[in-house]
Amino acid sequence: MTDFGAIDALLAGARQEVPLPSVEVRRGLREGLNLSRAQVAQALGVSPSTVGGWESGRDPGGEVREKYAYFLDGARTWLEAQAEQAAEEVSADDDDASASGDAELEESEAGAAEAEGEAEGESETLAVAQPCVLCGHPARHQVAGFPQHLDPGECGGETATVSEPPAKPAAAPVAPPVKVVPVGRRVQAVSDGPDPIAAAVAGALAEHAGDVDAATAALIKRAIPDAMALLDSTRKGGRYDVVAHPWIPDILRKQTARGADQIWEARPKWARRELPPGAHEVTALDINGAYLSALKTHLPIGQLEHSTGFGHDRRRAGVHLITPPVWDHEAELPNPVGNRDEPGPLWVTEPTLRLLLRLSGPKYGLCEPPEIHESFTSGATENLLEKFRIALKDARDRAIEQDDEVTLEYVKAMYSKFVSTMGESNYNRELYRPDWMHLIRSQAFANLWTKAYKAYGEGLTVVRAMGTDELHVIGDWRSVFPEGRGVSEVKIKDTYTVGEDTDPAATGEHENEHED
Amino acid sequence: MPEHIQEFGKYGARGIKGSAAVARRLDMLAGGIVTPITTRRGLLARLHYLTRTDHARSAAREAGLTVTDRTLKAWLEGRRSPSKRNLEKIERAYWTVRRQNVARYLVGRLNARGRGTRVELHPVNQSQVDRPRQRVVEFRTLNIRHWDQLVQAWSTGDTQAFDDAWTDQIVDLGSQWGQYEYVTNVGFAA
């Protein structure tokens, strides 16, 4: 009974999390008060980037959440008061104005896009409803550039307005914000800019008179030069040049024409040795676009420089000669160093080393820290291929949305061939970075390991982790990984059953589950 | 020219002459037989390359392999083996002929129909230079459109002409081109 008492106490002590307004509203409120992130951050005792994070999707927790909610609440009250005051001024103005002015106002409210006429006082009527800075619901007026409801009755908290019927049903779905990029002196919507991928696909389809197979083949053939052109265009105005032909240390050179170099990429090739008795439904999951996601990794920018006997510098990346730690969890989790048979030190890449360092840290405590003997590193950045990755990911998402197989295949060929030929390949002579190739592959393997660990942590049984993107699990994986075709989702490759049921009761249960 | 470096490495900078780096890179791009000439396989491969056609034979003779056809036949059949000095001659003749044969294609690829090839210049290594004497020398790139002279000088093995041709190109870097006379590496691909 004492156990239940303790649980009851725990439940009683658990507080309901303070509800926060939606992400865009948070920013609108802060900007409505003309406060910078730093000012808010100082008042709340957090860093400005944290506040930025809250305004772009993350949620604070605990005590600081209450503080933040208090701030947002106060800001809303203040802005509402201001809006009311402005509305009163407007109505006073309207009384003075002629009847024709009123009629115009009515007309524009009905939907006519009149830009000038109605700009009376501080308040303006918007032709297209925009999210209110106070409550986030569509409003048709703006004060000093901030869209908001003039009537405080219309403008309520989230819970208040949900129950109310929207004023104009046509304006109910809020359009997502338009992404813009600076072009010359102006800004331009991203969708209006040149899209080389869509242009190439359209050109190929036109050339082959709509023959999908021929167009796909032609596009795959030109994927490597196109990827290089895309890389060049995404590096325009970038802070770092892409150094395409640096001096390469001997460990990164192939020993013979068909041989391999000395880098160990830590490719997982692991299968669980034994399973508990009984039949198990195993699902083979496929990680979508593993190499595409792996383009986001710490890449060395310039020429690799040698160093010995130093610890790990987080601002640099490269390859390291390490003695890997002993791995005691082989029974349930793959070794992050992969399936290595030979003992002794080996050259690993940055993502593998970072994974090992993380796992040896206090948060995981899964192994001892690796011993670093020597390194070839250079100053690193995670953003070198970021725009390139985003461009490809956007094209991929769009292709999935529109069910456009040609673009999908083209994008896939672009990123996969880009990674596989960026080393000493004769198919891509513009980029000789075997170090990047190894780092990106290792990042994909490290990402797969992290997914395996996540599955293990959520109570699934990991059966196999192999290649770049294949994970076999037992259990309700849908609660852990979303299913789909996006890069953050997984898809089913295969399902199969392992073992035989010996217990008839268990079989019955199993079947019942299936009937459900 | 006043920009020329007089005493390279006096204060500990490390690097190689830019033209030497370019020549090394061109050699790498040209490729060739990697098996050493001291092995039977390597020797035969070179001799076959130098004796396949009349044109090859005359090119080999011009490149310094002045032995009689009878001797060549004896080497190829394995009745005799070349002396140490003749091995060196064969090696030198092989690389000369190889470069001459490859040069035309290399120029075509490097000129790329007038688009040229982007060349990366990696500055000298100053890690051993005293702090006050270190200078900011950045990584630079240069698009070279006319490779004819460079490749011509490389294929004939004329070091001085090659160095001059290279200097003509890096002058385009601007007033600081002298900093790139010596480099750690020159990167480009054909």
**What is chain A's length?**
516
Whether residues A163 and A297 fall in one domain? no
Shortest distance, CA A429 to any CA of chain B (angstroms): 6
End-to-end alpha carbon distance in chain B: 31
| A380 — pLDDT class (breaks 50, 70, 90) | very high
Side-chain-facing half-sphere of B83: CA atoms under 13 Å? 5
Q: What residues of B are in contact with residue A303 (Cβ under 8 Å)?
A: 122, 184-185
Region of poorest pLDDT, from A277-281, A310-314, A415-419: A310-314
CB atoms within 10 A of CB A401: 10
Question: Is the complex ipTM higher than 0.85?
Answer: no
Whether residues A443 and A345 fall in one domain? yes
| Cross-chain residue pair A244–B120, CB shorter than 8 Å | yes
Which tokens in the block code for residue A438?
């190894």
Region of poorest pLDDT, from A29-38, A258-267, B43-52: A29-38
What pLDDT is recorded for position A107?
A: 41
pLDDT in tens, chain B (190 residues): 667 888 999 999 999 999 999 999 999 899 899 899 999 999 999 999 999 999 999 999 999 999 999 999 999 999 999 999 999 999 999 999 999 999 999 999 999 999 999 999 999 999 899 999 999 999 999 999 999 999 999 999 899 999 999 999 999 999 889 999 999 999 998 8
Average pLDDT over residues A30-54: 83
Q: What residue ranges in A274-427 does DSSP mark as E strands?
A: 280-287, 299-300, 305-308, 316-323, 346-349, 371-381
| A94 — pLDDT class (breaks 50, 70, 90) | very low
Better pLDDT: A20 or A299: A299
Whether residues A353 and A490 fall in one domain? yes
What pLDDT is recorded for position A152?
A: 61
| Nearest residue to A58 (alpha-carbon basis) of A31, A14, A20 | A20
Which tokens in the block code for residue A126?
């918007």
Percentage of chain A with pLDDT > 70? 80
The answer to the question of residue A239 being in a domain is no
The answer to the question of residue A238 being in a domain is no
Interchain contact A245–B (C-beta under 8 A): yes
| Nearest residue to A316 (alpha-carbon basis) of A306, A328, A330, A325 | A306
Mutation choice for A interface testing from B139, B183, B186 by most A CBs within 10 A: B139
Q: DSSP per residue over A130-198, as a string?
A: EE-TTT-SEEEEEETTEEE-SSTTT---HHHHHHSPPS-GGG-SPPPPPPEEEETTEEEEGGGS--HHH
The answer to the question of residue A153 being in a domain is yes
Read off the pLDDT of residues A448-499 as tens digits, 9 standing for 90 and up: 999 999 999 999 999 999 989 999 999 999 999 999 999 989 999 999 998 8
| A64 — pLDDT class (breaks 50, 70, 90) | confident
Read off the pLDDT of residues B103-124 as tens digits, 9 standing for 90 and up: 999 999 999 999 999 999 999 9
Average pLDDT over residues A59-80: 84
Distance separating alpha carbons of residues A442 and B95, to the nearest angstrom: 40
Average pLDDT over residues A354-377: 94
What pLDDT is recorded for position A170?
A: 53
| A175 — pLDDT class (breaks 50, 70, 90) | confident
Among A168, A183, A202, identify where a domain stops: A168
Whether residues A160 and A279 fall in one domain? no
The answer to the question of residue A224 being in a domain is no
Whether residues A35 and A155 fall in one domain? yes
Whether residues A275 and A424 fall in one domain? yes
The answer to the question of residue A118 being in a domain is yes
Structural domain including A105 reads 23-168
What pLDDT is recorded for position A499?
A: 84
CA Rg, chain B, in Å? 20
Q: What residues of B are in contact with residue A252 (Cβ under 8 Å)?
A: none
The answer to the question of residue A204 being in a domain is no
Region of poorest pLDDT, from A122-126, A294-298, A393-397: A122-126
For chain A, the domain total comes to 2
Mutation choice for A interface testing from B28, B122, B137, B140 by most A CBs within 10 A: B122
